[in-house]
Amino acid sequence: MPLTREQIDRYADALLWGLGKARTGRFCRGDIVLIRYDSPGAPLVEVLYDKLLDRGMHVIPRAGLSAQMERSFFDKANRRQLVFHPPGERELCEALNGSIFVHAPASLTHLKDADPGKIARAVIARKELREILDRREDAGDFGWTLCTFPTPELAQKAHLSLEQYTDQIVKACFLDSDNPAARWESIYRRSGAIKKWLNGMAVSYYHVESDHIDLRIRPGKKRQWIGVSGHNIPSFELFLSPDWRGTEGRYLANQPSFRNGNYVKDVELIFEKGRAVKVEAASGEDFAQRQLSMDRGAGRVGEFSLTDRRFSRIDRFMADTLFDENYGGEWGNCHIALGASFSEAYDGNPAELTPTMKKSLGFNDSALHWDLINTEKKIVRAHLSDGKTVTIYENGVFCR
C-alpha cells in the first residue's frame, strides 16, 4: 500500500475538514454524502466511510468504471446511450448534501484513440446534473471536495517512482503532520488575508508577463478572488472567474496535461476579444482544438489562477491536474481554465445569479473546464481604475 494506515487516516481527516469548509451551510446528522472513487482508492474510501457513518451521515459509495469499461462505453455506446441518465440520478443530485471524489486512476491513456466527439456529447449531457449541484451549492445546501490517491499509473506518467509520487502527496496534504486539518486551517487564514488585499483593489485589468505569456485579463464587475475553500485537497491557488470578453493576448501552458486519455503538451493560445482564435500544441493539437469547439463557451476563459510557492510544497510534475494546478516549485504557477466559470467568484450572493445576470456580467458557460498551467517566472500587475499600477505577483509569490 503506497500510504500507511496512519497517513490514510490523516488524509481522511483532511478531506472531512475540506468538505466542511466547502459548504456554507453546516453538515448535520442524516445528511446524504456521495463518495465517488476509482477502485485503487478503496483503502481511503473505507476509512472515509467509517468516519462519515460515525457522524450520522447517510453514505453512498459509488465506484467508477474500470479503464476497460470506460473504453468499451466510448467505443460501443450509441447516441442515446451516451446521454443516458440512470433513473433517480436527478433526484439524487437534488437531495445530496455532500460529495467526495477519490481520484485513483489505473490508466491515464485508455481513451487515447476514443472519439473526442462522443466524449464531448457525454460530458455535455452531464452538464444539467452539475448545474443542479451548483445551484444547491450556491444555496448552501451542498459541498464537495476531492483528492488523489497514488497509483502506479500516475507515478509512471509523472516519471516518478511510486514512493516519490506518494511522498509528494504526503508533503502537499500535510500527512506528515499529526493534525493535517490544523495545517489546512492555517493556510486558510493566511490566504484569506491575501484575498482581502486583492479584493480591496478596483482593477480594470491584470497583465501577466513571462517569457511566453503576454496576457490581459479583465476581472469584470462584481468579482472577487476565491480559493483555499476546502473544495480540493490539496489547494493553494487563489483565483477568480473573469469577464471572458476582456481576455486579450498570448498564453502558453508549458506544463503538460492528461485529459480524457490524451497527452497534451505546450498548448499555445491567442485570444482576441475574449475568444481563443488560435490553438496550437506540440503534442495533442487536434484533441485540444476539438476540446475548444465542444460548445460556444469552450474557447473562452472561465478562470484565472495564481499559486504562491510559500504555501505549496509540490515541486514535481504529477500528471494530475489537482496537484499540477497547485504546483509551487521555484516560481509558483499561474493557470487559466478554458470553459465554465465559478459563480462563487461573484461578489454577492451567488444564489441570486440568474442566467441572464451571468451573461451580462461575462461569466462564461460551458460543459468544459480545462486547466492549462504555466510554471515560468512571471510578473502580474493590476492596472487600477484610477490609472495606478500595482504588482500583485512576482517570483512565485503574492506581493502582500
Could you read off the pLDDT of 122-144 as tens digits, one per residue? 999 999 999 999 999 999 999 99
Could you read off the pLDDT of 323-347 as tens digits, one per residue? 999 999 999 999 999 999 999 999 9
The reported pLDDT for the residue numbered 109 is 92
Residues 6+ apart with CB under 8 A from 114: 71, 74, 75, 260, 261
The reply to whether 165 and 209 lie within a common domain is: no
The reply to whether 267 and 331 lie within a common domain is: yes
The reported pLDDT for the residue numbered 365 is 95
Q: Which residues pair with 306 in a beta bridge?
A: 238, 334
Of the candidate ranges 32-41, 197-206, 253-262, 297-306, the one whose mean pLDDT is the lowest? 253-262
Mean pLDDT in residue range 230-259: 96
d(CA 146, CA 323) in angstroms, rounded, equals 11
Given a cut of 80, whether residue 103 has pLDDT beyond it is yes
The reported pLDDT for the residue numbered 400 is 86
Which of 121, 154, 182 marks a domain boundary? 182
The reply to whether 172 and 282 lie within a common domain is: no
d(CA 146, CA 36) in angstroms, rounded, equals 9
Nearest C-alpha neighbor of 227 from the set 269, 188, 181, 253: 188
Mean pLDDT in residue range 368-390: 97
The reply to whether 108 and 228 lie within a common domain is: no
The reply to whether 241 and 298 lie within a common domain is: yes
The reported pLDDT for the residue numbered 261 is 84
The reply to whether 121 and 224 lie within a common domain is: no
Given a cut of 90, whether residue 97 has pLDDT beyond it is yes
The one-letter amino acid code at 270 reads I
C-alpha cell at 376: 515560468
The reply to whether 138 and 214 lie within a common domain is: no
Confidence of residue 110 (pLDDT cuts 50, 70, 90): very high
The reported pLDDT for the residue numbered 260 is 87
Could you read off the pLDDT of 27-71 as tens digits, one per residue? 999 999 999 999 999 999 999 999 999 999 999 999 999 999 999
The reply to whether 220 and 168 lie within a common domain is: no
d(CA 393, CA 400) in angstroms, rounded, equals 9
Nearest C-alpha neighbor of 43 from the set 146, 145, 151: 151
- Write down the residue that cell numbers 450572493 correspond to: 349
Alpha helices by DSSP H, the chain: 5-22, 42-54, 67-76, 79-82, 89-95, 116-125, 127-138, 152-157, 162-172, 180-199, 285-291, 321-324, 355-361
The reported pLDDT for the residue numbered 29 is 96
Given a cut of 70, whether residue 1 has pLDDT beyond it is no
The reply to whether 279 and 353 lie within a common domain is: yes
C-alpha cell at 68: 476497460
d(CA 348, CA 35) in angstroms, rounded, equals 30
C-alpha cell at 45: 474510501
The reported pLDDT for the residue numbered 116 is 86
Q: Which residues pair with 398 in a beta bridge?
A: 393
As for how many domains the chain has, the answer is: 2
Which of 141, 163, 182 marks a domain boundary? 182
- Burial environment of residue 78 by CB neighbours within 10 A (0 to 12, 13 to 18, 19 or more): exposed
Given a cut of 70, whether residue 23 has pLDDT beyond it is yes
Residues 6+ apart with CB under 8 A from 176: 170
C-alpha cell at 157: 506518467
Q: Output b/e per residue, 252-267; b: 16+ Cβ within 10 A.
A: bbbbbbbbbbbbbebb
Which of 163, 182, 201 marks a domain boundary? 182
DSSP 52-116: HHHTT-EEEEEEPPPHHHHHHHHHH--HHHHT---TTHHHHHHH--EEEEEE--S-SSTTTTS-H
Domain with 240, as residue range(s), is 190-398
The reply to whether 164 and 143 lie within a common domain is: yes
| % residues pLDDT > 90 (the chain) | 96
The reply to whether 103 and 214 lie within a common domain is: no
d(CA 320, CA 258) in angstroms, rounded, equals 7
On average, the pLDDT of the chain sits at: 96
Side by side, the strands of the sheet bearing 226-227 are: 226-227, 237-240, 301-307, 333-339, 369-374
CATH code for the domain of 91: 3.40.1830.10
d(CA 270, CA 206) in angstroms, rounded, equals 16
* Rg of the chain over all Cα atoms, to the nearest angstrom: 20
d(CA 47, CA 43) in angstroms, rounded, equals 7
Could you read off the pLDDT of 149-169 as tens digits, one per residue? 999 999 999 999 999 999 999
The reply to whether 160 and 194 lie within a common domain is: no
